[in-house]
């Protein structure tokens, strides 16, 4: 829990960022809205480790690793890192792009959301994930709270945030990561992540499949009472197909979602981009020859995941603004094991 000594409202960070308000705080850090006085008052988000947390070397490494992950990838659907540094007391901080929007969680409806809207948003997130994967980054905690929606010039854009527990290949900050406990959000985990197994890029694709199911039906594909029961449900497969919950869903879209949720990683789409394209095609009536489907793909590589113990289970910040929670390579080599 943060204390008054951790409250930065009204302060100047590094003589440049004037902190105006706090969006929220979790067990490890706090998130603020600030203005960059050197860039004409540009609004930014500052993410800071709490004083108690930055005494933990492991937590600091994970925080720095988020900066490393975000510095590797430049994509319009991934939150941008603008600065990284330490305050006078050595408290590390990140300066991130401010996203004036809401989280995907806030727009989900019990009956599901518009299918064309779903097609566009899922494809954007899928492309963002593949861009990260091609730079050696697995997100590992994708969920509706970590997808921000921003509207500009009448067009809606999805932005993936919170790489706090991301797994990096060839990390400069933490070349080796000790396996401690499964990290992430249980209801969105792939089977292999749930049982602390080796992850591949298809693991993030599975998670995106869960989100797509929820977007079109308004419900999660599984509703277990425990992680063990969830794993058994995942192994057995869907008991209720999406079209039963959403009759206007095209069968081809259901096929795409079911494939993304395959228990075995090798039976899923081998890139998130492929899944995004398939679902977009199914929901928008396009054909597989559409130019959007012609993209270079990468084969998922296995990662001996040094699963991190939650750099904290992040409490959600208010979703009407940025929603950025706490806690980032070389191109993946085909068919090789990805050891962090």
CA distances from 123 to 109, 215, 282 (A): 19, 13, 12
Residues 224 and 198 in one domain: yes
Domain boundary among 45, 64, 97: 97
Residues 287 and 177 in one domain: yes
- Residue 62, domain CATH: 3.30.200.20
The set of residues, in sequence order, having a beta carbon less than 8 Å from that of 161 and lying 6+ positions away, is 79, 96, 99, 146, 147, 148, 322, 323, 324, 325
Catalytic residue among 141, 162, 204, 274: 141
Residues 193 and 296 in one domain: yes
Q: Which residue segment(s) compose the domain that 66 sits in?
A: 4-97
pTM of the entire structure?
0.82
Domain boundary among 97, 123, 153: 97
Residues 185 and 56 in one domain: no
With H, G, I as helix, E, B as strand and everything else as coil, classify residue 71. helix
141 is catalytic: yes
What are the structure tokens assigned to 260, written together?
């993304």
Mean pLDDT of 11-15: 93
Residues 44 and 108 in one domain: no
Buried b (16+ CB within 10 A) or exposed e, 30-43: bbbbbbbeeeeeee
Residues 129 and 207 in one domain: yes
What are the structure tokens assigned to 292, written together?
């959007």
Residues 286 and 182 in one domain: yes
pLDDT digit string, tens, across residues 71-127: 999 999 999 999 999 988 888 999 999 999 999 999 999 999 999 999 999 999 999
pLDDT digit string, tens, across residues 275-323: 999 999 999 875 444 434 434 334 444 444 333 222 222 333 333 334 4
> Do residues 253 and 116 make contact, with C-beta atoms less than 8 angstroms apart?
no
Domains held by the chain: number: 2
- What is the DSSP-derived secondary structure letter of residue 303? E
Residues 106 and 252 in one domain: yes
């Amino acid at each position: 829990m943060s204390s008054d000594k951790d409250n930065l409202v009204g302060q100047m960070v590094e003589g440049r960022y004037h902190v105006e308000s706090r969006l929220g705080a979790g067990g490890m850090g706090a998130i603020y809205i600030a203005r960059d006085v050197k860039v004409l008052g540009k609004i930014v988000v500052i993410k800071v480790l709490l004083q108690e947390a930055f005494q933990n070397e492991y937590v600091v490494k994970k925080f720095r690793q988020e900066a490393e992950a975000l510095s590797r990838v430049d994509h319009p659907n991934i939150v941008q890192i603008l600065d990284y540094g330490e305050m006078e007391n050595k408290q590390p901080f990140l300066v991130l792009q401010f996203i004036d929007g809401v989280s995907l969680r806030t727009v989900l409806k019990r009956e599901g959301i518009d299918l064309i809207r779903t097609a566009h948003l899922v494809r954007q997130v899928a492309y963002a994930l593949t861009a990260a994967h091609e730079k050696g980054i697995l997100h590992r905690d994708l969920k509706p709270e970590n997808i921000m929606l921003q509207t500009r010039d009448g067009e809606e854009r999805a932005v993936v945030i919170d790489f706090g527990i991301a797994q990096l290949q060839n990390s400069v900050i933490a070349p080796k990561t000790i396996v401690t406990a499964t990290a992430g959000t249980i209801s969105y985990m792939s089977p292999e992540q749930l049982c602390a197994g080796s992850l591949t890029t298809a693991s993030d694709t599975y998670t995106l499949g869960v989100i797509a199911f929820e977007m079109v039906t308004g419900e999660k594909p599984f509703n277990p009472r425990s992680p063990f029961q969830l794993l058994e449900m995942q192994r057995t497969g869907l008991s209720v197909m999406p079209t039963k919950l959403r009759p206007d869903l095209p069968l081809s879209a259901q096929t795409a979602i079911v494939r993304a949720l395959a228990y075995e990683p090798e039976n899923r789409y081998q890139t998130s981009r492929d899944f995004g394209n398939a679902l977009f095609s199914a929901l928008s009536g396009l054909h597989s020859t559409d130019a959007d489907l012609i993209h270079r793909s990468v084969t998922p590589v296995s990662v001996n995941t040094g699963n991190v113990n939650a750099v904290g289970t992040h409490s959600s910040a208010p979703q009407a603004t940025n929603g950025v929670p706490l806690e980032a390579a070389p191109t993946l080599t085909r068919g090789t094991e990805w050891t962090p």
